[in-house]
């Protein structure tokens, strides 16, 4: 049975259970939250080992074959371009379509954990390199440590021969273990879908956010079925661009309903290698970077959300200077979500309100009840960006062996 079909069955069962057996008490809700948290932990369990050993081998091979700079440039270039493009798409949609205002809440501003770029940067380089292997949420320190280890090994092939052989062997072993956990995760999607359905129903019942959800849904379809396939068709001369979308079904499902970009990374690695035929040295390099830094979907959602907040408080038009500010800060904050794989867009909107000031400090509270749903759309678009973006990098670096559609997992 295809992996994506297993996941579809899982979310189907979760949907049915949520409709016929909703939690009837606080205790049952707490139990559901515990199960979902456990599922996410299981899904992330092998990420750090796979990431460290695979990125180290990838960096070694890329540098040894003199493809490191080219692959890095293409990967970071596509990440920046996709984030900028999605931000502009969200900004244009938010300005052209005036969504219904959200009723102003009387809820008092809650305590907000301050966000600082300094903390984000210093965490990349902890006091010991081995500390980078401890954090299973912020994966960028692990990526950097593994990258340096692999690239450094290529400077002395004789001295590093044993180490690289060990890294390569452990990379393959943990990939097998990771594949096993992705099979288990299909069952865990029952609980994930159960909770997401409850959050979605609660959000839709208010009737306040329906127009926002509809807009995000339309933009998701536009990105998935029009924009990205067209880019592949003309930029990469891909005759069958929808095969990439087919390969991304499973990661998209996981990211969308969990709202967690890290959870989808294991599935991205599997589908990139086994479905799309991307060589391991690029597959293990591009996908983690897209998962960590490629948060254009978050930029899109943040832009639309903040414009909606401003219009909910005031019927006056938005000045041109504010339009540029919204776009620019949404774009920049999307990269700051590298350490926040789940719920990042709402945290970014909170930061935007606090930075903007002018009595809008508590504006983020208007979207508090819809946060799980809008973050789902952001994570879903980010998952699509990762699969399409990594495929573009593989095509441009000529590191892809095209597979027959029937061989897709």
What are the backbone dihedrals phi and psi of residue 357, each rounded to the nearest 5 degrees, phi first?
Answer: 65, -135
Please tell me whether residue 344 adopts helix, strand or coil conformation: helix
DSSP string over 135-186: -SS--HHHHHHHHHHHHHHTT-HHHHHHHHHHHHHHHHHHHHHHHHHHHHHH
Closest CA to 402 of 250, 288, 236: 236
Closest CA to 272 of 388, 144, 397, 398: 388
Domains for the chain: give ranges and CATH numbers.
3-407 (1.10.3860.10)
Task: Answer yes or no: is pLDDT of 315 > 80.
Answer: no
Q: How many degrees, rounded to 5, is the angle at CA 126 between CA 120 and CA 130? A: 130
> How far is residue 354 from each of residues 90, 199, 226, 265, 299, measured CA to CA in Å?
21, 26, 35, 31, 17
**Tens of pLDDT, residues 197-256:** 999 999 999 888 999 999 999 999 999 999 999 999 988 888 889 999 999 999 999 999
What is the pLDDT, as a whole number, of residue 407? 85
Residue spans of alpha helices (H) in 248-338 = 249-258, 261-274, 280-293, 296-313, 320-336
Task: Answer yes or no: is pLDDT of 113 > 70.
Answer: no
pLDDT band at 109 (very low <50, low <70, confident <90, very high): low
Q: How many degrees, rounded to 5, is the angle at CA 183 between CA 245 and CA 178? A: 90
What are the backbone dihedrals phi and psi of residue 341, each rounded to the nearest 5 degrees, phi first?
Answer: -70, -20
Task: Answer yes or no: is pLDDT of 107 > 80.
Answer: no
Task: Answer yes or no: is pLDDT of 108 > 70.
Answer: no
pLDDT band at 112 (very low <50, low <70, confident <90, very high): low
Tokens of 53: 């050993």
Tokens of 91: 């900004």
Tokens of 395: 């095509």
DSSP secondary structure code for residue 45 in this structure: T
What is the pLDDT, as a whole number, of residue 127? 84
Average pLDDT over residues 124-131: 85
Helix axes 157-206, 371-396, angle to 10 degrees: 150
d(CA 340, CA 350): 14
d(CA 373, CA 256): 9
Closest CA to 301 of 387, 386, 220: 220
Please tell me whether residue 104 adopts helix, strand or coil conformation: coil
**Tens of pLDDT, residues 350-366:** 989 888 877 777 788 88
pLDDT band at 334 (very low <50, low <70, confident <90, very high): very high
Rg (CA), the chain: 21
Average pLDDT over residues 96-124: 76
d(CA 171, CA 70): 23
Q: What end-to-end distance do the CA atoms of the chain give, in Å?
A: 8
**What is this structure's pTM?**
0.94
Out of 234-243, 312-321, 390-399, the most confident range is: 390-399
**Tens of pLDDT, residues 139-189:** 999 999 999 999 988 888 888 888 899 999 999 999 999 999 999 999 999
Closest CA to 374 of 250, 205, 137, 210: 210
Task: Answer yes or no: is pLDDT of 30 > 80.
Answer: yes
Per DSSP, what are the bridge partners of residue 342?
260
- In whole numbers, what is the pLDDT of the chain averaged over residues? 90
> How far is residue 163 from each of residues 44, 71, 152, 158, measured CA to CA in Å?
26, 23, 11, 10
């Amino acid at each position: 049975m295809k992996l994506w079909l297993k996941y579809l069955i899982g979310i189907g069962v979760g949907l049915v259970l949520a409709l016929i057996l909703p939690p009837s008490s606080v205790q049952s809700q707490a139990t559901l939250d515990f199960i979902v948290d456990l599922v996410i932990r299981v899904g992330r369990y092998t990420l750090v080992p796979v990431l460290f050993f695979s990125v180290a081998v990838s960096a070694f091979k890329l540098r040894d074959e003199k493809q490191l700079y080219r692959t890095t440039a293409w990967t970071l270039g596509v990440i920046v371009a996709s984030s900028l493009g999605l931000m502009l798409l969200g900004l244009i949609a938010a300005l052209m379509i005036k969504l219904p205002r959200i009723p102003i809440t009387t809820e008092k501003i809650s305590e907000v954990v301050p966000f600082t770029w300094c903390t984000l940067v210093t965490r990349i380089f902890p006091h010991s390199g081995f500390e980078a292997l401890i954090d299973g949420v912020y994966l960028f320190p692990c990526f950097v440590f593994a990258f340096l280890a692999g690239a450094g090994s290529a400077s002395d092939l004789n001295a590093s021969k044993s180490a690289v052989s060990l890294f390569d062997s452990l990379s393959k072993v943990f990939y097998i273990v990771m594949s096993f956990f992705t099979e288990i995760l299909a069952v865990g999607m029952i609980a994930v879908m159960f909770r997401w359905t409850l959050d979605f129903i609660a959000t839709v019942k208010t009737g306040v956010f329906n127009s926002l959800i509809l807009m995000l849904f339309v933009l998701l379809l536009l990105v998935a079925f029009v924009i990205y396939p067209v880019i592949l068709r003309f930029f990469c001369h891909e005759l069958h661009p929808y095969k990439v979308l087919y390969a991304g079904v499973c990661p998209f499902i996981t990211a969308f309903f969990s709202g967690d970009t890290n959870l989808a990374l294991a599935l991205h690695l599997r589908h990139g290698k086994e479905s799309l035929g991307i060589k391991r040295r690029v597959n293990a390099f591009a996908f983690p970077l897209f998962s960590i830094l490629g948060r254009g979907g978050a930029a899109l959602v943040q832009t639309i959300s903040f414009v909606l907040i401003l219009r909910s408080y005031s019927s006056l038009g938005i000045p041109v200077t504010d339009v540029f500010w919204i776009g620019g800060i949404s774009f920049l904050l999307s990269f700051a979500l590298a350490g926040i794989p789940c719920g990042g867009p709402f945290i970014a909107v909170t930061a935007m309100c606090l930075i903007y000031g002018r009595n809008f400090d508590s504006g983020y509270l208007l979207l508090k009840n819809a946060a799980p749903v809008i973050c789902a759309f952001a994570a879903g678009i980010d998952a699509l960006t990762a699969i399409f973006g990594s495929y573009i990098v593989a095509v441009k670096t000529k590191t892809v062996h095209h597979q027959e559609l029937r061989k897709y997992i």
